[in-house]
Amino acid sequence: MRVGCMGELLVEIMRDRVDVPLGVPGVFLGPYPSGAPAIFADCLARLGEEVFFVGAVGNDDFGFLILERLRRDGVDTSGIKILEGYTTGVAFVTYFSDGSRKFIYHISRAASGQIFPEDVREEDFAKLDVLHVMGSTMLINENCRASYEKAMSIVERHGKRISFDPNFRPELLGKDRARELFLPILRKSFVVFPTEEELAVLTGEENFDRACEKVLAEGPEIIAVKQGKRGSTVVTKEGKWSVPAFQVEEVDPTGAGDCYCAGFLAALSWGMKMEEAARFANAVGALAVTQKGPMEGAPTREEVEAFLRRHS
């Protein structure tokens, strides 16, 4: 399977302790290579799939850090630009005891936001089996949205498939505007990866089962709902499978959902059934949170299989 992804390439700089607001002096850790699409791409490549990425970094040490990581793990970075005059994107993040996070982003005016339709080449996207669309990228600015729209058009025209992670960021856009932007993508997708909150944003429906019915009625074949410490639930027109999470010591939750998506898509490409794919993806997400840094815990296929044997 060859999967394409596009979007924000960032470094993440995080508080060293929980419950320290971003607005007070204190200690930060990092930089760690990050950006939701980049975390997904890196994890999928580590699992053994072919991954092509379109994005931009600045001509600086943060950008080189990201590029080195992606290349080392096997991502095709030929679609990534190194820009003069722009700095690499940065996200500052702090965690709280209730499990919530707060971000300050430097994206839209950084290199991260300098993705344009001319960067989306027909010859690159026609070769994909799946285009993985990240909602966070669609929310950055108009040129990023237009770039993804062009990519989706190419993929559809060549009879290939689209997967969609809403990855809603309230810091970037309100719920009503997000629903307006995301519904057309939902209708094009064969699999969608929302959280329960994102299900409500997409459908305006708080009841889980009714929200899933609404999503399936829009066209997707599979809904894989990320539920954090409770695991995940996969819903299709044929059935519903709730798969519990694995108990691990959580060090850094950022990127767990992106890694879950990578694990689920990889499992589907290997022919796994829904419940088996969800269990594999849960394991990928669990391993992802065991190290500090959004990409640092992303496992290989062999590491996931060894983890599953220990928990069988």
> What digits encode the pLDDT tens for the residues 254-279?
899 999 999 999 999 999 999 999 99
Average pLDDT of span 176-191: 89
The predicted pLDDT at position 99 comes to 78
Q: Total domain count for the chain? A: 1
Torsion of the alpha carbons at 135, 214, 191 and 258, rounded to the nearest 10 = 40
pTM: predicted TM-score of the whole model, two decimal places: 0.94
> What digits encode the pLDDT tens for the residues 107-157?
888 999 999 999 999 999 999 999 999 998 988 899 999 999 999 999 999
Amino acid (one-letter) located at 81? K
Average pLDDT of span 52-77: 98
**Could you tell me the CATH number of the domain that includes residue 193?**
3.40.1190.20
**Which residue range is the domain that position 259 belongs to?**
2-310
Confidence of residue 170 (pLDDT cuts 50, 70, 90): low
> What digits encode the pLDDT tens for the residues 195-224?
999 999 889 899 999 999 999 999 999 999
Average pLDDT of span 174-197: 89
> What digits encode the pLDDT tens for the residues 226-247?
999 999 999 999 999 999 999 9
DSSP line for 128-188 = -SEEEEEHHHHTT-HHHHHHHHHHHHHHHHTT-EEEEE----TTT--HHHHHHHHHHHHHH
The neighbouring-strand residues paired with 287 are: none
Q: Is the pLDDT of residue 173 over 70?
A: no
Confidence of residue 172 (pLDDT cuts 50, 70, 90): low
